[in-house]
Every structure is written in C-alpha cells, then in structure tokens.
Amino acid sequence: MSDDVKLSKVEAIKTDSIYLHGGLDKEMSSEGGAVSDEAYELLKFHGSYFGFDRDTATERKKAGLEKEWEFMVRMKAPGGRITAKQYLGLDSICEKYANGTLRITTRETFQFHCIIKQNMKKHIAAINELLLTTLGGCGDVVRNVMTSPAPKKDKLHLKLVEDANAISEFTLPKTSAYHEIWLDGENMARNPSNEDYEPLYGKVYLPRKFKISVSVPEDNSMDALTHDLAIIQIWEAGELLGYNLLLGGGLGMTHNKPETYPRLATPIAFIEPDRLLDGVAAVVKLHRDYGDRSNRKHARLKYVVEENGIEWTRSKLEELYGEKMQDARPMGQFKVVDHMGWHEQGDGKWYLGVPVSSGRIIDRGDEKIRTGLREVVAKYGVDLVLTADQNIILCDIAQTDKQEIVDDLKSFGIKLVEDITPVYRNMLACVALPTCGKALADAERIKLPVLEEVEQVMEKHGILDEEIAIRVAGCPNGCSRPYVGDIGIVGRMPGHYAMFIGGDFEGTRLNTKILDRVPQENIKEVLDILFAKYKAEKEEGEGFGDFADRAGIAGLAQLVESNLGDKYKWAKAA
C-alpha cells in the first residue's frame, strides 16, 4: 500500500505490540474481568475473543452492575483431527474452565465459551498440555487449515492430511509471545526491527484473517471456494501431479455496503508437488503486501484479486513465487460427500459420522451428546475428526464393535444419520447471540425451532427427502457460510433476517438476496411459497438452489412479494 494511506487503529496496535506481546501478560493477571481495546485485538492472535453476555447486559446496566465479561477460546486442529486422549482432555477442560460445552466450528476445530479472565491462562495451558495450541486460532494470520474429514487410509486422503499439517506448521506464527504469556516460557530478546522474527508475516502480520483449505474436487465438504486460498490437489492414475491455487474466496460482507461482498476463489495457477509451501508463502505474502490496511472491512485478499484482476494477481504472485507459474489444470466437477453414517476406512476398520446440531456438544434434554461421546471415546479409544458442517466422526472402529457403539450412542439418546431428515443434516448455524459480539440476531438458538418449521413445510409439499442446504448466520460476516447454501438466512436485526436463495449444494455458486428483514416467525411463509413452486416445476434430480437459479431469482422474489406484499411491509423483493 502507499505510504500516504492512513492505517487503521489495529495496524498501530500490531506494530506497537512487538510481535504480539503488548501488555497482555500484565492485563491478563490484573484484577477485574475486562481488558483494554489493545488487549482485545492482540488476544485474537492468541486464539481468543473478549466479550460479554449480551443477554444480561441491559438488565445489569439498569441495576448499576458491570457486564458479565467473558472470553471465547478457539484452538487449532488441522483437518479436524483429534486423538481420543485429546478429546477426553478437552471435555474435562470445558467443564473446569468454560461453560461445560464444546462447540465444533465450521472450520473443523473446537471453541470454548464463557471463560472468565482468571481462568484464561489455566485454560490455554491445559490445551497445550494436550499437544494442541490456540495460537493463530483467530487474528490476522492463517487460521485453522481445513481438508477432507474422511479418515480413509488410501494414498489420496493420507496426502490431504499430510499437506494440511505441513501448511499449518509452516504458517504458525513464530513469535515467542504466546509461550511467554500463557506457558511461562522464557522471556526471549525482542528486537522490533528484526523482520526475520516473523519471516512469513513480518512485524505487522496480515491485513486480515486468512483461510486455507486443501482438497480434491471429489470432496468439497469444506466449501473450498470460500477460502482466501483453495488448494486443489490434481491426481492422475493414482499419482499427485501438483496443485491448483485458487485465490480470493471469502464471504464476509456488511449490510447495505455494496463495496463489501462475498466472493468465490478464482483459479490462478498450478504448481508442482515439491513447491507447495513456496506457493502458500507467495499467496500469503501477496495478501501481506497488497491488502488494504486502512479499512478492515475491505482488507481480505478477495478485494485484492477482484479489484486488480486476474492478470495482475498472477504477475505479482509469480514475483513472490520466484518464477513463472503454469496455468491451472482442469478440475473435475465439485461434489459434496456425506460423511455421516458408516463408511469403510480402507484398512479393515470403519468410521462413523455422528450429527451434532450446530456443533454444540452438550447434554440437551433426552439427547446426552456430551456424556455419550465421552463414554464411547473412553470405552473404545477411538480418535475423532471434526467436520466443516459441525459434526463429528468416530474413527478406527473394528467391525466387531460397530453395533455395540451404535447401541451405546443411542442409549444416550444421540441421533444418528438415519434418525434425521436431509435438511436437518445439511443445516448449519453460527454461534451468534448471546456470546458473539458481532451478532445482530440469533442463529444457533433458533436453528432447531426454524428447522422444525422448515421440515413441516417440506413435508407439506412432498419434498422432505430432498437435499437442501440451509445456513443460518447471526450477522453478515457469514461464519456458517450462508452465501453458498441453497438458502441463506442472515441476521439483520434482532428477530429479523435477510433471505438468500440460488446457491448450489456443491458450493460452487453464490446465492442472491431476495428479502431484507423477514421476521423469524415468517420465514416459514416465505419458504412455503418457494417450495410450492419448486415442487411444481423442478426437473428430475434438480436441487432447490439449481431450480431457483434456472427459474430466475428475481422472479421468485416477485412471487413472494405478490403473495405476501399486501400483508407485510417487509415482503418487498430486494
């Protein structure tokens, strides 16, 4: 960027922190539950967001009480891989230091909620004792690296996991601040002018967060095209030829700010197998050097690619890579694989995908998910994989244990894939209220009530067996990836949502907004109209998003308005 551009406040905080140290050590050991704005920004790099319980804030203010301050902690687990020992340890940590739940994120990892400041150091240290880390779980660095969750033992899947681990290790921040603050590490010499201290990121790190996935077209269950860098392995006759690099995906936007928008990654180049980390470094540095550091809402790599064009992007990338790059190779059709239920691993053992509503591992009513998973993992010693659709996979199961594991899970009321509808299976929701400071409306807390209404409407129209992906987000930042689902429901204000339709189930097409402020209780009325049209006019095997795209999204929006516009002010086509 030009030296004349006024940098954002966060850029100054990063610069002054001397590689993420700042005053965190003193602040986190001080009295009280809150932290400064500087600490709020730096904590992200260490894997934590600071906030407060938004449900109780107003009443406490009226009573003259301080807000209920709390922290969220997010760890890293490349490809979602967790050992049995680690899982049992994390289950204990969430009970001891957090709110007694584990939450699977849409990036194949865990986060913990409602941690008080006095427990933060113990919480993070306990995670590290399990040989896991929270460093880079949030912040302006490469986040958790995603890949196929399938724990298959064939050459392709083993290579996917190998690459995800290598990229994660390569992009992990090198600062000593994390170990000094949380793990009582040695206070290493700090030299703010030494760029080699963070050879990949530099002293100010990236302009914004950076997301990477490594996958194959045959399994796009992690929505690869929504990443800043989507690495697609190219195989032929059982051999890895190399990698396509697709740049500039990202979903965050701001309502009524057209200069912000979701975007899917674009194929830019192909690299040889032995240059993977060189390619990753070049793309990360492209963002580092050319990303917008003046406006954080315009700071993602997608804006660099979109506004400068493909040729410019390729040229700058080649400069950073050190040589000319090949054109991206042809890729097969992207598909979404369902990893729920039983699947063979390829080594004589099996894996079982277990659905977890909104990724929240909690004992809820008759469904004792947390207790049941803990008992099964402890009894059978199975490793686990966390999936991008907020579910969990139990791995390495012997044929002789299959039925007993099913019986054990069902004894705790845990639903398996045969117990739920396809729309239940394919509905995601972010955390939102009351713990997310960005949320404009509920998401996780309304998922099951909205799902029940959706199922009723689908059953009414005879389409309950259709695969329809619905994503609910509490704000337009889009953590539940609402802009690539068949239907996106995005928080607009408390109790009201913007509705989007026309994405495809495979995650290769963005959807389009049709309505802006739909009250939660009226979502079912909108879907009733749309599903009736879908049932009447869909082609054989056509998904809802594909139908909406073919039929014309503007026309469907007008259809809703013509049916509901006289009754509701909000029912005006967007």
Quick check: is 395 catalytic?
no
Quick check: is 114 catalytic?
no
| Residue 35 confidence (pLDDT) | 97
Instruction: Report how far Cα 153 is from the mean position of its chain's Cα atoms.
Output: 25
* Side chain identity, residue 4: D
Which listed residue (114, 138, 395, 430) is catalytic?
A: 430
| Residue 197 confidence (pLDDT) | 83
Name the band, by pLDDT with cuts 50, 70 and 90, for residue 186.
Answer: low
Mean pLDDT of 322-347: 97
Quick check: is 349 catalytic?
no
Q: Where in the chain is the domain with CATH 3.90.480.10?
A: 341-421
- Percentage of the chain lying above the pLDDT 90 cut: 96
Sign of CA dihedral 137, 140, 142, 146: positive
Note whether 62 and 122 are within 8 A (CB): no
Computed over every residue of the chain, the mean pLDDT equals 96
Note whether 433 and 54 are within 8 A (CB): yes
Contacts of 471 (CB under 8 A, 6+ apart): 427, 428, 429, 480, 481, 482, 484, 485, 487, 488, 489
Mean pLDDT of 297-314: 98
Alpha-carbon distances, residue 425 vs 337, 414, 419 (angstroms): 12, 14, 10
Which listed residue (74, 107, 152, 360) is catalytic?
A: 74
Q: Where in the chain is the domain with CATH 3.30.413.10?
A: 207-337, 424-564
- Which runs of E-coded beta strand occur in 257-391? 266-271, 341-344, 350-354, 360-361, 363-364, 367-368, 384-386
Name the band, by pLDDT with cuts 50, 70 and 90, for residue 319.
Answer: very high
Which listed residue (94, 114, 138, 475) is catalytic?
A: 475
Name the band, by pLDDT with cuts 50, 70 and 90, for residue 193.
Answer: low
Which listed residue (44, 143, 288, 492) is catalytic?
A: 143
Locate 57 and state its tokens.
């804030």
This prediction's pTM: 0.96
Quick check: is 492 catalytic?
no
Quick check: is 143 catalytic?
yes
Quick check: is 94 catalytic?
no
Mean pLDDT of 174-203: 78
Taking residue 324's Cβ as centre, other Cβ atoms within 10 Å add up to 9
Q: Which fold has domain 207-337?
A: Sulfite Reductase Hemoprotein; domain 1 (3.30.413)
Mean pLDDT of 261-278: 98
Q: What φ, ψ does residue 532 adopt, rounded to 5°?
A: -65, -45
Q: What is the pLDDT of residues 222-259, one digit of tens each?
A: 999 999 999 999 999 999 999 999 999 999 999 999 99
CA distance 61 to 65: 5
Contacts of 154 (CB under 8 A, 6+ apart): 346
| Residue 185 confidence (pLDDT) | 78
Quick check: is 174 catalytic?
no
Q: What is the pLDDT of residues 351-379, one digit of tens each?
A: 999 999 999 999 999 999 999 999 999 99
CATH of 341-421, one of 3.30.70.20, 3.40.630.30, 3.90.480.10, 3.10.110.10: 3.90.480.10
Name the band, by pLDDT with cuts 50, 70 and 90, for residue 538.
Answer: very high
The answer on pLDDT for 169 being more than 80 is yes
Element (H, E) at 40: helix 37-45
Instruction: Label each residue of 51-79 as H, E or C.
Output: EECCCCHHHHHHCCCCCCEEEEEECECHH
Q: What is the pLDDT of residues 105-149, one digit of tens each?
A: 999 999 999 999 999 999 999 999 999 999 999 999 999 999 999
3-class SS of residue 345: coil
| Residue 184 confidence (pLDDT) | 87
The answer on pLDDT for 189 being more than 50 is no
Q: Which CATH class is domain 424-564?
A: alpha beta
Quick check: is 436 catalytic?
yes
Q: What is the pLDDT of residues 465-521, one digit of tens each?
A: 999 999 999 999 999 999 999 999 999 999 999 999 999 999 999 999 999 999 999
Which listed residue (436, 481, 492, 513) is catalytic?
A: 436
The answer on pLDDT for 203 being more than 80 is yes
Mean pLDDT of 154-173: 98
Q: What is the pLDDT of residues 432-473, one digit of tens each?
A: 999 999 999 999 999 999 999 999 999 999 999 999 999 999
The answer on pLDDT for 315 being more than 50 is yes
Taking residue 413's Cβ as centre, other Cβ atoms within 10 Å add up to 16
The answer on pLDDT for 1 being more than 90 is no
Which listed residue (370, 479, 492, 533) is catalytic?
A: 479
3-class SS of residue 118: helix
Locate 142 and state its tokens.
């490469």
